[in-house]
Amino acid sequence: MSELPVFVPAASVILHNHAAPDKVYLARRSPKLKFLGGFHAFPGGKVDPEDRELAGNQDPWSLARVAAIRELFEEAGVLLALDENGNCLNDVTLLASLREQIRLKKITFGEMISKNGWRLMGDKLVAMGIFSTPPFSPQRFQTRFFHASCPKEQQPQLNSVELDQGTWGTVTQHLARWYRDEILLSPPVLAILEIMKNWEGTVIREIPQRFDEIPLERVRFRSWAEVVSVHCPGPAVEQIGNVILVGGTRFFLVDPGPSRPEGFEEIRKAIYRKQKLNHEFAGILLTHHHPDHVSEAERFSEIFGVPIFAHPKTALKLAGKCEVHHSLLDGSEINLGVNPETGDELRLFPIFTPGHAEGHLVFLEPRSRTMLVGDLISTSTTILISPPDGHLGTYIHSLKLARDSQPTLLLPFHGCPVANGHEAFQQALEHREKRESGLLNALGMNLDSLESLALEIYRGLPEPLMRLAQRQLLAGLIKLAEENKVESFEEGMRWRLKK
């Protein structure tokens, strides 16, 4: 039975231009933000405790209306409120000053509204519906979206802490930029824009209100890359993995390793959807041999009559378990057909990145610099390097190789996509450096066994994760020994700094 997800309540505003209602406002989330930084979205954020007092009751939609108005003001400087005479606010200098006081925590949003005798224009927000974050993210939001018209006296002024670029445009214009890979859109924003494409020219008061969950049938981060998040086997506990359908008129399935029947069916439905568009299912690509990436590869191969592609070292690891039909070598070209929205040719290139596994590959789409990274990097956990298949020194070399290829968007198997690929790889390298420093410090305290080292470095980590931590430490000790910094004794059971 699937676990019940815990969602954080949030709200967002689809802001329409007062002078040109067919234009809506999109803003880029700061690349520094951990969750979907660098992606374009509508202004919005989490429901705060103070929103409850302004809302006057605990109804989720009432809370969301207040949160949406507050977030729109804090992030974009647009305040949907009336003064004591029932007029729209037009003193932009005053609003900018009050917004800065809120940013500096000198006043709260609720205090600002109360002291000035203003009234929120909650009734002017038209409900669009609810979207819930797919399971690829460890933090999941249930966001209520609203339409609202920007007051003619005001214009968005972004708060660079959370949003750093903004633009007005028609739905068609925003979507065209996304299809050309010029901008990134969060999946719910993309779905909303595609729904709204049929409404262009409709004024807000004629937009049909809906208060239900809007299903997110496809999770796409590029028009040619669809993610199906499924439960898959893990080294200690079951985890979430991102199976990817990549390609245009010719597509491949990457790393199909679902552990539950419902996950298998979700992947199969995604394949059928592509085939109904007359797109050719050309095969299955494997980044490496671990079970969470390959457990159902042969079954999909047999059902759809398509070959499996992998590095030769992965094929050796899978011998007798799963047949690999074609070898993928570093720099091979994979034809993905054309992007049906733009007519551009799409290609994918494997890059050999061993270390986590001997035959590990990542895949780079060169025009957009999008990289499918498998288990080279994760945004939800630390990648396990477990000897003898895993080798830390080799893994670090692979991180640098991938970083130096200057990727932009990273699509990991575990966790959320990352818009700044170079920075993500650099952070992964710095994390490994800190772990190595901690290991050297622990050895300097005369801790010499894997058990004692793990207890010191990974304090409070529960079993069986502690056993995995010991494997991680062993990889670090082997690397340090190869660099002549440590040595083992007592038949490899204990370790010490080398004098």
Cα 325 to its chain centre, rounded Å, is 31
What pLDDT, in 10s, does the model give residues 39-78?
999 999 999 989 988 888 779 999 999 999 999 999 999 9
Task: Report the CATH number at residue 13.
Answer: 3.90.79.10
* Residue 460 located in a structural domain: yes
Residues 451 and 480 grouped into a single domain: yes
Q: Which helix (H) or strand (E) holds 246?
A: strand 239-247
For 19-28, letters b (16+ CB in 10 Å) and e give eebbbbbbbb
Please, which pLDDT band fits residue 35 given cuts at 50, 70 and 90?
Answer: confident
pLDDT of residue 1: 33
Most confident of 201-210, 283-292, 483-492: 283-292
Q: What is the mean pLDDT of residues 231-242?
A: 88
Residues 224 and 166 grouped into a single domain: no
Residues 389 and 323 grouped into a single domain: yes
Got the DSSP string for 110-142? HHHHHHHT-EE-GGGPEEEEEEE--TTSSSEEE
pLDDT of residue 342: 95
What pLDDT, in 10s, does the model give residues 422-444?
999 999 999 999 999 999 999 99
pLDDT of residue 252: 98
Q: Which of 378, 404, 433 is the last residue of a domain?
A: 433
* Residue 473 located in a structural domain: yes
Residues 160 and 141 grouped into a single domain: yes
Domain with 132 in it: 7-206
Residues 361 and 489 grouped into a single domain: no
Residues 284 and 387 grouped into a single domain: yes
Q: Which of 180, 206, 232 is the last residue of a domain?
A: 206
Please, which pLDDT band fits residue 5 given cuts at 50, 70 and 90?
Answer: low
User: d(Cα 441, Cα 434) in Å, to the nearest integer?
Assistant: 11
Lookup result for tokens 């038949």: 491
Q: What is the mean pLDDT of residues 463-483?
A: 93
With a pLDDT cut of 90, the percent of the chain lying above it is: 80
With a pLDDT cut of 70, the percent of the chain lying above it is: 98
Q: What is the mean pLDDT of residues 452-470?
A: 90
Q: Which of 150, 172, 206 is the last residue of a domain?
A: 206
Residues 464 and 332 grouped into a single domain: no
pTM of the model as a whole: 0.92
Residues 427 and 455 grouped into a single domain: no
Give every CB contact of residue 273 below 8 A, 6+ residues apart in sequence. 218
Q: What is the mean pLDDT of residues 444-451?
A: 94
User: d(Cα 424, Cα 409) in Å, to the nearest integer?
Assistant: 10
Residues 300 and 384 grouped into a single domain: yes
Lookup result for tokens 């551009």: 344
pLDDT of residue 338: 97
User: d(Cα 15, Cα 41) in Å, to the nearest integer?
Assistant: 11
pLDDT of residue 36: 87
Q: Is 2's pLDDT higher than 50?
A: no
Taking only Cα atoms into account, the Rg of the chain, rounded to an integer number of angstroms, comes to: 25
pLDDT of residue 181: 96
Please, which pLDDT band fits residue 463 given cuts at 50, 70 and 90?
Answer: confident
* Residue 135 located in a structural domain: yes
Tally the domains of the chain.
3
* Residue 260 located in a structural domain: yes
* Residue 213 located in a structural domain: no
* Residue 43 located in a structural domain: yes
Task: Report the CATH number at residue 413.
Answer: 3.60.15.10
* Residue 214 located in a structural domain: no
pLDDT of residue 445: 95
Give every CB contact of residue 91 below 8 A, 6+ residues apart in sequence. none
Longest CA–CA separation in the chain, Å: 85
Residues 429 and 440 grouped into a single domain: no
Residues 342 and 303 grouped into a single domain: yes
* Residue 278 located in a structural domain: yes
Residues 379 and 455 grouped into a single domain: no
